[in-house]
Amino acid sequence: MAHVAVATQAAKGPLRAVTAWDRLKTDRNWLGAWYMLPAAAFLILFLAYPLLLGVWLSFTDARIGQAGEFVGLENYEWLWEDSVFWTSVFNTLLYTGVASVIKFAVGLYLALLLNRHMPFKAIIRAVVLIPFIVPTVLSAIAFWWLYDTQFSIVSWTLRQLGLITANINFLGDVWNARWSTIFANIWRGVPFIAITLLAGLQTISPSLYEAATIDGARAWQMFRHITYPLLTPIIAVVMTFSVLFTFTDFQLIWVLTRGGPVNATHLMATLSYQRAILGSYLGEGAAIATAMIPFLLAAILISWFGLQRRKWQQGGRDD
């Protein structure tokens, strides 16, 4: 048969050499890469480029409207000895740590409550979302009034009840201001966690609980051995998001205190904005923003490796 094939080929004309390009065009392994290209271009243009540009700016003395020159680590050296910067790092860690833990605890508790059968279930679930739906600036302004040194309804009520004699200095005292902003963040963040965890809870098959009940498991045992393990993937995702959002919070602080009093509530994000945009020292602002990246990466890695990659989730045994 071979000579027949050769004869047919000869009739068609000489064979064109197969180029590398031809292979790339038809290779199935490369096809996937071609399909990914638009998405990759999108990510590079809108995510990677701005991020890298930000990192680059942190090594320059750029000001708004002036390109700036490469200054190496100078911005970081100044920040290293800058007490305001370290205050903002402390504030950010405190703000994120305390708010995230409490948001998680309250959110989980709320999700478990909402997962029960009760009258007006749909309406109640919708109502829980309200703090999340209200634009941050609006809720921040509401808190601004609640925390006002002269007009706070909280102070007024407590005074009427005779519990305090002078108004509470919510935003004027260093620690009061920190707790007040953390509380406002918790109030705003709980619904997101509660509703997401509720969605996770509803994917757990009731038959597991039925089997456990037959085996005589108590409520805590059911939570510990059924609810919690099955919820961990979604907890990992939701807490990663929550930590990232809290760490990079801006609006709430900006409306309530602008970082005051005496920088006691300045987060890294607000300090970065103040120095880069209002102070026009772009390079230094970028350095503060870049300094947030290691913390954010750490937060992602902890939640990912700590919660997500359990062996049982990949078909192995959990130990």
Query: Cβ closer to another protein: 125 or 159?
Result: 159
Tokens of 276: 């880069």
Can you give the length of the chain in residues? 319
Among 278, 297, 298, 301, binds another protein (CB under 8 A): 278
Query: Cβ closer to another protein: 67 or 301?
Result: 67
Position 151 contacts another protein (CB under 8 A): yes
DSSP 37: H
Rounded CA-CA distance 233/109 in Å is: 17
**How many residues sit in the footprint of another protein (CB under 8 A)?**
40
Using CB under 8 A, which of the segments 46-54, 280-288, 301-309, 310-318 binds another protein?
280-288
Q: How far is the CB of 262 from another protein (least distance, A)?
A: 4
For 7-87, strand residue ranges (E) read none
Among 167, 251, 308, 313, binds another protein (CB under 8 A): 167
DSSP 309: -
Phi and psi angles of residue 179, each rounded to the nearest 5 degrees, phi first: -65, -35
Looking at residues 230 to 269 of the shown chain, list those that interact with another protein (rule: CB under 8 A). Answer: 257-263
Q: How far is the CB of 290 from another protein (least distance, A)?
A: 17
Using CB under 8 A, which of the segments 44-52, 147-155, 185-193, 221-229 binds another protein?
147-155
Using CB under 8 A, which of the segments 59-67, 132-140, 229-237, 309-317 binds another protein?
59-67
With the C-alpha atoms ordered 127, 128, 130, 133, is the resulting torsion angle positive or negative?
A: negative
Rounded CA-CA distance 279/275 in Å is: 5
Query: Cβ closer to another protein: 64 or 199?
Result: 64
Rounded CA-CA distance 119/104 in Å is: 25
Name all contacts of 52-55 with Cβ < 8 Å and 24+ positions apart: 54/286, 54/289, 54/290, 55/286, 55/290, 55/293
Name the residues that contact another protein, by CB under 8 A. Answer: 61, 63-67, 78, 81-84, 147-151, 166-167, 169-174, 177, 257-263, 274-275, 277-281, 284
